[in-house]
Amino acid sequence: MIDKPLKFKKGDYIINRRTGNIGIFDKLKKRHLYFTHYYSDMFDKITNDHHFAIEYQDFFDICTDEEKEKMDRKIKEKKMSNR
């Protein structure tokens, strides 16, 4: 297995354009990408404890400003519904 360099930094908003899933990258730990928030478009749900193996980074790109705003709205909606 060849180790690939990490292509994201902490706080980057990243998106899988095929699925529409968006995450805010937090850290790399034991070859897994961890997210502070992760939005699943299929389930229309945000989780705070999502992670992937580092190999999955190839499916993600940096978000546009519009995509970042969508994620921020989803996080705000979740916080409002948890009150």
Under DSSP, the state recorded for 49 is: S
Mean pLDDT per block of 10 residues along the chain (83 residues) reads 77 94 94 93 87 91 96 90 73
Q: Which residues contact residue 73 at a Cβ distance below 8 angstroms, ignoring those fewer than 6 apart?
A: none
- 80 bridge partner residues: none
The per-residue pLDDT for 83 is 63
Q: Is 14 helix (H, G, I), strand (E, B) or coil?
A: strand
Domain boundaries, the chain: 13-81
The per-residue pLDDT for 68 is 96
Tokens 């709205």 — which residue? 73
The per-residue pLDDT for 1 is 47
Separation in Å, CA 63 to CA 1, 8, 38, 40, 81: 28, 11, 13, 15, 25
